[in-house]
Amino acid sequence: MRFDKKLIAVTAVLAITFVVACSSEETPFATTTAVPPTSSVPTAADGARADTTGDPAIGEGVFTSNGCSACHSTGDNTIVGPGLAGIGVRGDAAYIEQSVREPGVVVVDGFANIMPITFANMSGSDMANLIAYLKTLN
């Protein structure tokens, strides 16, 4: 059986990250970094920002197809990154968009800045749908 070296490396990084994130005795849900003002939210390569509407059903597909569930639960539990339940209450659409496009700007206390920046160029419509889905998580 032949293994893809890139897949093995990514799996190893995720496993190490998981161990480090879970080794903290402090719960990451007790505190979060303050949400900064969102005077300028980054845009996708096509210049599109997420609008205020989106389809949660399509957004669930965006969440799944981009591998978000590998690191984020849709509940309160930690996988590698923080659980996303209640994210729509803790932050507005601009905050969520910035967190996806520029994940290092606001990092939840107790977590490392390890989210990939590969989502910076997500289209405006995919972002709007993703935000609509995330806002349904309680």
Q: How far is Cα 83 from Cα 48, in angstroms, rounded to an integer?
A: 27
Question: Which domains are seen in the chain, by residue range?
Answer: 5-134 (1.10.760.10)
Please state the pTM of the whole predicted model.
0.66
Cβ distance 120 to 102 under 8 Å? yes
Q: H-type helices in 79-136, by residue range?
A: 87-90, 93-101, 124-134
Statement: residue 9 has pLDDT above 70: no
To which residue do tokens 């849900």 refer?
A: 29
- pLDDT at position 118 is 82
Q: Using the 8-state DSSP alphabet, how is residue 43 labeled?
A: -
Distances (CA, A) of 63 to 23, 59, 69, 99, 100: 26, 6, 7, 14, 11
> How large a percentage of the chain has pLDDT more than 70?
62
Given this model, what pLDDT does residue 117 score? 83
Tens of pLDDT along 22-77?
444 443 433 444 444 444 455 555 555 555 689 999 999 999 999 999 999 999 99
